[in-house]
Amino acid sequence: MEDILEVYSRPYDPKRPQICMDEAGKQLVAETRKPIKIEPGKPPRHDYEYERNGTCNLFVFCEPLTGWRHVEVTERKTKKDWAHAIRDLVDVRFPDADKIVLVMDNLNTHSPASLYEAFAPEEARRIVNKLEIHFTPKHGSWLDMAEIMIGILTRQCLSRRIGDQVTLREEIAAWEQDGNNHRKPVQWRFTTENARIKLKRLYPTL
């Protein structure tokens, strides 16, 4: 835990961006009847019936110190899907970084080994060497600030019926662009001192 809190206490350094990563599922649900649009004094109305169109996965990345966010929509969340999302982070999102400080939970796909399964050894090693990985402790995924971004994404964009992956990508892209145009850094206030008081029961007694 203190390892993660130490990362969050570091000052902003564009050459060593601090990126939090998490993933979420989204069920694709389509309307079976055309909704009644919103009117003055009346909310929009939807029929109770809907059509299930499967699910997809969202890899959510955010830089808490700047408010930057990016969402990668994939059909699945396999090791190879994660590996390609990480290569995109390294090569496309932060190509000029000396090292990306990456915070994420301990899901079995979130491992350098996944990069070696997806790419040739030389390519995997190149990507791994660009990362400084920090895992949240077991049962402590709430320390990953990407969960905050997922909550914002859900409230502002996903808490409605979206019937297909194309529409989902378009809606998320618009949300992402608006957020990156009006960035609001995360104000993280939970420090190591707070942890030692509020989570005293989790610390060993010497």
| Interval 101-110: pLDDT, tens | 999 998 999 9
Helix or strand (DSSP H, E) at 25: strand 18-31
* Cα–Cα distance for residue pair 94/87, rounded to 1 Å: 10
Positive or negative CA dihedral for 5, 87, 25, 180?
positive
Res 198: pLDDT: 60
CATH class held by domain 2-35+46-202: alpha beta
* Cα–Cα distance for residue pair 14/94, rounded to 1 Å: 9
16-38 residue pLDDT tens: 999 999 999 999 987 777 776 77
pTM for the model: 0.84
11 is written with which tokens? 């000052």
Res 173: pLDDT: 97
113 is written with which tokens? 């080994």
Sorted by where each begins, the domain ranges of the chain are 2-35+46-202
Which phi and psi (to 5°) does residue 31 adopt?
A: -75, 145
122-174 residue pLDDT tens: 999 999 999 999 998 877 777 889 999 999 999 999 988 888 999 999 999 99
Res 89: pLDDT: 98
Please report, for residues 44, 46, 50, 145, 168, the alpha-carbon distance to residue 33 in angstroms, rounded to integers and kept in the order given. Answer: 13, 8, 8, 38, 19
